[in-house]
Amino acid sequence: MIGSLPSPSDGVLYLGPLPIHAYGLMIALGVVAAVWLSGRRLEACGAGTQDDMSAVAVWGVGAGIIGARIYYIVTDKGEPWRQPAKWIRIWEGGLGIPGGLLAGIVVGLWAARRRGIPAATMATVTAPAIPLAQAIGRFGNWFNQELFGRATNLPWGLRIDDKHLPAGYASGTTFHPTFLYESLWNLALCGLLLWIDKRFRLRPGRLMVVYLAGYFTGRFWVEGLRIDPANSVGGLRVNQWVSLVVVVLSVGYLVIDWLRHRHESEAPPVDEYVAADE
């Protein structure tokens, strides 16, 4: 127990008499941070304003939450699709990030085009913001005491109270804090993407592909540590297979794109992405 990480005693915070579910609060804070960062980058490249980014985020975030919930309902081992009454109770947990990314990115880029912002430009400015949102949002799992990893004696092992303790584990067992691992991975990925964008000036939109490759590489590792029930195929969890597919496709795309354009001059800086995409 010495040096272990505690878990919150309750997943609900109170603002006076008003209960606030910490899971939803962490997601909301992540969204605010992401909109702020991507809005600043959008203004810096001269492609739009903070208001434009906020308007696009309404569509992208809304679609992302719906897509994430549908992915969870369809793929979770507990078969939540059999319980329609619980489909909208996202404050209890249950958002599948692959589904959220697919729906959120596609709808967000569509919303950007409607406001006259090139899709490639929007993909570039939002790429570092998405892992920033994920880094913050993952703390919702900490408040819910869910999705932790295997038992461990490491000094940063996570303490889980008896109410949330998986069957077969003794009281006081500590577990890998996979929420923290993924959060730190995403925070580092955000910084890496900002550095790559500044240092290498990738072709418009390619930074989003780098994000996908980076995020799902870390997700594959984190999924391998988790012990929550999950559908598996060939010894790997479904989310690990999804991660492998996305990483292979993303890296393959980047390699092919580089081979096709390797003799061209360096891509234009971010403030010229609009002209380059039109």
Residue 153 lies in a domain: no
Q: Which residues contact 263 (CB under 8 A, 6 or more apart)?
A: none
- Residue 83: which domain range? 12-141+172-277
Residue 199: how many CA atoms within 13 Å on its side-chain side? 6
Residue 1 lies in a domain: no
Residue 197 lies in a domain: yes
Residue 23 lies in a domain: yes
Letter string b/e over residues 119-147, b meaning 16 or more CB atoms within 10 A of that residue's CB: bbbbbbbbbbbbbbbbbbbbbbbbbbbbb
Q: What pLDDT was estimated at residue 135? A: 97
pLDDT along the chain (278 residues), means of 10: 77 82 91 97 94 96 92 78 67 78 95 95 97 95 92 94 90 94 98 95 92 97 92 91 97 94 62 45
Q: What pLDDT was estimated at residue 95? A: 79
Number of C-beta neighbours around residue 20 at 10 A: 13
Which of 71, 66, 61, 62 is closest to 88 using CA atoms? 66
Residue 77 lies in a domain: yes
Q: What pLDDT was estimated at residue 276? A: 44
Number of C-beta neighbours around residue 46 at 10 A: 14
Q: What pLDDT was estimated at residue 93? A: 62
Q: What pLDDT was estimated at residue 200? A: 87
Give residue for tokens 């913001």: 129
Q: What pLDDT was estimated at residue 87? A: 67
Give residue for tokens 């081979």: 259
Residue 254 lies in a domain: yes
Terminal C-alpha separation, the chain: 59
Number of domains in the chain: 1
Which tokens sit at 203?
Answer: 């072709």
Q: Across the chain, which distance is largest between two alpha carbons, in Å?
A: 64
Residue 158 lies in a domain: no
Residue 161 lies in a domain: no
List the beta bridge partners of residue 159: 174
